[in-house]
């Protein structure tokens, strides 16, 4: 699966971080603390996709930025340059190799997925069944399984060390697993508004859902 087709899944992963939920178990308490104390975020990431047989299918890396509510910038640097920008209303996807920009309304792009929580909704418990998923690889995990069966994934796992988010894992309905690991994470950095604006490059092919 190419990076392009992982975009909805990555939005799903990212958005879960911003939902407000009560602390019910230790890992969930850490998630609650992280969310309540994090209005913005900057981090480097590595993303690894495994097929249904556990074989590595793709690996990529880059940098991400978030600002509540509903603004984000996700920059793929390796192996291919690609950019996602959420400006609060629209999702911009720029594929540098194809010189193509796809723009969609943010709510339509993410539909009823947990990415909708990026816009600041606080209804995660209406959409997900939440539970503590134990300790693995030195991290405490929270499992968020969607109540709706219409989405493209089965569950999202969030791994914490202390109150710091270290990893996310998504299992989709096609048997694939996407693992994100974060490093150099900065909470509440000073982020300029220009990070969350995007203007298509001159001459780029623009595809819109308008």
CATH number of the domain where residue 64 is located: 2.50.20.10
Residues 51-78 have pLDDT tens digits of 999 999 999 999 988 887 778 888 998 8
pLDDT-based confidence at 83, cuts 50/70/90? very high
Domain count across the chain: 1
What pLDDT, on a 0 to 100 scale, did the predictor assign at position 149? 72
CA dihedral 2, 159, 131, 12 (to 10 degrees): -30
Residue 30 DSSP class = H
Domain around 9: 3-208
CB environment 62-79: b (16+ within 10 A), e (fewer): bebbbbbebbbbbbbeee
Q: In this structure, what token pair is assigned to residue 168? A: 């996310």
pLDDT-based confidence at 14, cuts 50/70/90? low
Residues 135-190 have pLDDT tens digits of 999 999 988 887 777 666 788 888 888 878 899 888 888 889 989 899 998 989 99
């Amino acid at each position: 699966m190419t990076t392009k087709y992982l975009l909805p899944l990555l939005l799903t992963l990212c958005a879960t971080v911003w939902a407000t939920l009560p602390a019910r178990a230790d890992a969930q308490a850490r998630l609650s603390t992280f969310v309540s104390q994090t209005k913005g975020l900057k981090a480097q990431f590595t993303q690894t996709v495994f097929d249904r047989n556990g074989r590595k299918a793709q690996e990529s890396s880059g940098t991400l930025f978030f600002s509540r509510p509903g603004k984000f910038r996700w920059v793929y640097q390796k192996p291919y340059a690609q950019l996602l920008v959420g400006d609060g209303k629209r999702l911009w996807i720029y594929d540098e190799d194809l010189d193509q920009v796809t723009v969609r309304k943010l709510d339509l792009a993410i539909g009823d997925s947990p990415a909708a929580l990026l816009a600041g909704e606080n209804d995660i418990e209406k959409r997900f069944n939440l539970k503590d998923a134990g300790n693995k690889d030195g991290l405490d995990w929270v499992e968020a399984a969607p109540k709706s069966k219409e989405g493209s994934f089965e569950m999202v796992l969030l791994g914490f060390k202390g109150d710091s988010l270290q990893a996310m894992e998504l299992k989709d309905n096609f048997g694939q697993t996407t693992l994100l690991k974060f490093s150099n994470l900065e909470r509440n950095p000073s982020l300029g508004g220009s990070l969350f604006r995007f203007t298509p490059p001159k001459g780029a092919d623009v595809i819109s859902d308008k």
